[in-house]
Amino acid sequence: MSEQEHADDTESVTAATSEKLVELAKRRGYFFQSSGAYGGVGGFYTFGPQGAALKGNVEDAWRDRFAVAEGNMEIDAPTIMPEPVFEASGHLDGFDDMLVECPECGESHRADHVVEDNTEYEDAESLPIPEVEEVIAEYELVCPSCGAGLAGQAVETFNLMFATNIGPGDSDPGYMRPETAQGIFVEFPRLKEYARNQLPFGVTQIGRAYRNEISPRRSIIRTREFTQAELEYFIDPETDEPDLESVEDVEVTLYPASEQNAEDGDEIRTTIGDAVEDGIISSPWVAYFLGVAKPWYDAVGVDMDRFRFRQHLSGEQAHYASDCWDAESEIDGNWIEMSGFAYRGDYDLSKHGEHSDDRFTIFKQYDEPKTVERATVDPDMSYLGPEFGGDAQAVVQKLEDLAARDRSAFDGDAVEIDLEGETHEIPVEKTGFAVEEQTEAGEHITPHVIEPSFGVDRLVYTVLHHAYREDEVADEERTYLELEPEVAPTFVGVFPLQNDDELEAQANEIVADLREVGLSVTYDDSGNIGRRYRRQDEVGTPFCVTVDYETVENEETTVTVRERDTTDQKRLPVDDLAETLSAIREGDLEFDEL
Ligand code: GAP
């Protein structure tokens, strides 16, 4: 039987507006602006009980797919890191957005967003600053807050990292990490040992990242503190190949840079295998991870008709990436970036190798020993010792690395090395530099990195937005979230039909049984049964169980189980309830089949 009195066509249900969703999220405990008692602060959100559970389930699903199923390691690194890390990574110099300040009200805005929101430019972030200033003047763009003209205002760069001090005083600056990735890269020398020095291997991390966004907006889509789930996959670019066969038939919608640049360019529907063969996706590794990600996004509840992979335009690439594709979801007619799949090459490991005293390479054994010409150093320690004291060994390492990397650096009378931010000159004659023929068993190579980087908050937003439904049940308007059982915060709501000791005792027993098999259960005995169903529908609980007088009076103890989307109800024996609902939760059984 069904509560619905008409054929409910969910296809025709109007899509959620973000406004309705944000209101529901606050009212039902998904997410809301933090520190409301103190007026709230832009760009910081608290996930309430429902939101924290949904986010946790999404993170677990990500961990299952990208760490466990792929055989990757997971780590949990600190969120504050010292300044030299970000000098090396390039974030200190290059992690900037364009800022324009209103001459009237003093509000700061992202200049590229002002341009994109009010002109036909779609990717103003990739424009050089003088051009952005010109566009602002040409279109006579105004301050989004007060309407004053912005023409003639300087557009400046603004570094997005939150700065702090480590310990008392300001001698040891640190930064809140702007991406979880750096926590993985800096530990590479140790992580490679855990991987037994064998490439390829992957390291994942799920954790907070911080960006002091100029204009945080659209609730949890652009915040100043958010969660990333990142995988850094280290490969030998010469020999390692992905298991492309396992994903070659995955169908994808791609929006390559060439199509974005073409006047009549359009999205391309193809398969991962064909996209690689046709040269649309140049890196098979990036293609592999797109092929893994697409079914995963589908499984957690992203609507595949509102999903695509878009390639970055050349001016849009991050400073470390040579190619990057974003997974995008459609929200109220706009595409938002949920994740990026970047080919980072050897950028990060090389930089940390140059700036730190550790080795960010891996030893690659040859099939057979080779005789090669090698640049070596044999420094004069009677010179380095007095000159560098306790740092002498670090200098030796620097000289070795430099000789291996750039033997021309030893062409002159002196060679320059960087030690803790200071440049030192060492006479070449004291370095023992020589080029020799050596028989070698292998070489130290700097692995390349492929990085699938997921934003958890934007995914949570997308999942909620794509799940939002409105229909009519028994002549009443209903709002419900068609969340996938795998991610729904609560799997089943249990209600006694009325306030009655016997019904309540039976309902509590059922709650305990269901919790014992690991299901997430809520008990609700307040208000009429219709209202209780609506409450669970609105938070996306897939099933409700009602204990009524038939349950306690009949010889065979049965309950009513109601399915959220169809509102269909079936009577099921209590004895089988935990097993049946667990099977549905695991995807081994459909409610229809009962
Ligand atoms: N390690 C690579 C990296 O951080 P990114 O494209 O800057 O790449 C990855 O960030 C993901 O993090 C984005 O696709 C997005 O989902 C999420 N993200 C980035 N900035 C965000 C913000 N201010 N608020 C919420 N999510 C954000």
- Ligand 1 pocket, 205 CB below 6 A? no
Question: From CA 250, how far away is CA 194, in angstroms rounded?
Answer: 32
Q: Which residues pair with 99 in a beta bridge?
A: 110, 156
Percent of the chain residues topping a pLDDT of 70: 97
Residue 429 sits in the same domain as residue 512: no
Per-residue pLDDT tens digits for 365-386: 999 999 988 899 999 999 999 9
- Output the CA 451–ligand 1 centroid distance in Å: 12
Q: Is position 511 within any domain?
A: yes
Q: What is the mean pLDDT of the chain?
A: 93
H/E stretch holding 359 = none
Residue nearest to atom 14 of ligand 1 (CA): 339
| Signed CA dihedral, 300, 302, 307, 311: sign only | negative
Residue 496 sits in the same domain as residue 557: yes
Q: Is position 455 within any domain?
A: no
- Ligand 1 pocket, 214 CB below 6 A? no
Residue 507 sits in the same domain as residue 585: yes
Residue 519 sits in the same domain as residue 587: yes
The whole-number pLDDT of residue 316 equals 79
Q: Is position 285 within any domain?
A: no
Domain that includes residue 389, residue range: 367-441
Give Cα separations from 107 to 55, 101, 140 (angstroms): 33, 6, 17
Question: From CA 520, how far away is CA 511, in angstroms rounded?
Answer: 9
| Signed CA dihedral, 309, 312, 313, 314: sign only | negative
Helix residue spans in 406-489 (DSSP H): 456-467
Helix residue spans in 120-271 (DSSP H): 129-138, 181-185, 188-194, 257-261
Closest of 335, 242, 253 to residue 283, by C-alpha: 242
Ligand 1: which atom is nearest the Cα of residue 179? 4
Spell out the residues 6+ positions from residue 135 whose beta carbon is closer than 8 angstroms to its own: 115, 119, 121, 124, 127, 141
DSSP 80-146: EEEHHHHHHHSHHHH-EEEEEE-TTT--EEEHHHHHHHHSS-S-GGGS-HHHHHHHHHHTT-B-TTT
Closest of 459, 570, 443, 359 to residue 31, by C-alpha: 459
Residue 170 vs residue 25, higher pLDDT:
25
Cβ-count burial of 100 within 10 angstroms (0-12 exposed, 13-18 middle, 19+ buried)? buried
- Ligand 1 pocket, 227 CB below 6 A? no
Q: Is position 557 within any domain?
A: yes
Amino acid at 6: H
Helix residue spans in 373-429 (DSSP H): 381-388, 392-405
- What tokens were used for 235? 């490969």
- Ligand 1 pocket, 338 CB below 6 A? yes
Question: From CA 402, how far away is CA 399, in angstroms rounded?
Answer: 5
Percent of the chain residues topping a pLDDT of 90: 85
Looking at the 3D structure of the chain, how many domains does it have? 3
Residue 413 sits in the same domain as residue 499: no
The whole-number pLDDT of residue 420 equals 82
- What tokens were used for 539? 């938070």
Question: From CA 321, how far away is CA 283, in angstroms rounded?
Answer: 12
Per-residue pLDDT tens digits for 575-587: 999 999 999 999 8
Confidence of residue 6 (pLDDT cuts 50, 70, 90): very low
pLDDT tops 50 at residue 350: yes
Confidence of residue 2 (pLDDT cuts 50, 70, 90): very low
- Ligand 1 pocket, 563 CB below 6 A? no
Question: From CA 226, how far away is CA 218, in angstroms rounded?
Answer: 13
pLDDT tops 50 at residue 3: no
- Output the CA 179–ligand 1 centroid distance in Å: 8
Q: Is position 574 within any domain?
A: yes
Residue 502 sits in the same domain as residue 589: yes
Q: Is position 553 within any domain?
A: yes
Omega cis (within 30) before 485: no
Query: CATH number, domain at 127?
Result: 3.30.40.230
Question: From CA 24, how far away is CA 33, in angstroms rounded?
Answer: 13
pLDDT tops 50 at residue 53: yes
The whole-number pLDDT of residue 14 equals 40
Per-residue pLDDT tens digits for 173-212: 999 999 999 999 999 999 999 999 999 999 999 999 999 9
Ligand 1: which atom is nearest the Cα of residue 326? 14
Per-residue pLDDT tens digits for 397-455: 999 999 988 999 999 999 999 888 889 999 999 999 999 898 989 989 999 999 999 99
Q: Is position 518 within any domain?
A: yes
- Ligand 1 pocket, 125 CB below 6 A? no
pLDDT tops 60 at residue 299: yes
**Range in 71-85, 308-322, 378-392 with the lowest mean pLDDT:** 308-322
The whole-number pLDDT of residue 419 equals 86
43 Rama sector, left if φ>0, alpha if ψ -120 to 50, beta otherwise = left
Last residue of a domain, one of 114, 135, 156: 156
Residue 496 sits in the same domain as residue 432: no
Ligand 1: which atom is nearest the Cα of residue 224? 23
Average pLDDT for 17-23: 90
- Output the CA 74–ligand 1 centroid distance in Å: 19
Query: CATH number, domain at 510?
Result: 3.40.50.800
To the question of pTM greater than 0.85 for the whole model, the response is yes
Confidence of residue 551 (pLDDT cuts 50, 70, 90): confident
- What tokens were used for 193? 């040992």
Residue 494 sits in the same domain as residue 401: no
Per-residue pLDDT tens digits for 458-468: 999 999 999 99
Last residue of a domain, one of 106, 135, 156: 156
Mutate to test the pocket of ligand 1, among 97, 302, 326, 337 (most ligand atoms within 8 A of CB): 337
H/E stretch holding 255 = strand 251-255
Residue 211 DSSP one-character state:
-
Q: Inter-axis angle of helices 18-28 and 529-539, to 10 degrees?
A: 120
Kindly give the pairing relationship between strand 558-563 and strand 543-547: antiparallel
Last residue of a domain, one of 132, 156, 180: 156
The whole-number pLDDT of residue 256 equals 97
* 3-state secondary structure at position 503: helix
Q: Is position 52 within any domain?
A: no
Note whether 537 and 522 are within 8 A (CB): no
Average pLDDT for 357-367: 93
Question: From CA 361, how far away is CA 354, in angstroms rounded?
Answer: 11
Confidence of residue 10 (pLDDT cuts 50, 70, 90): very low
pLDDT tops 60 at residue 170: yes
Kindly give the pairing relationship between strand 307-311 and strand 323-331: antiparallel
Average pLDDT for 350-357: 94
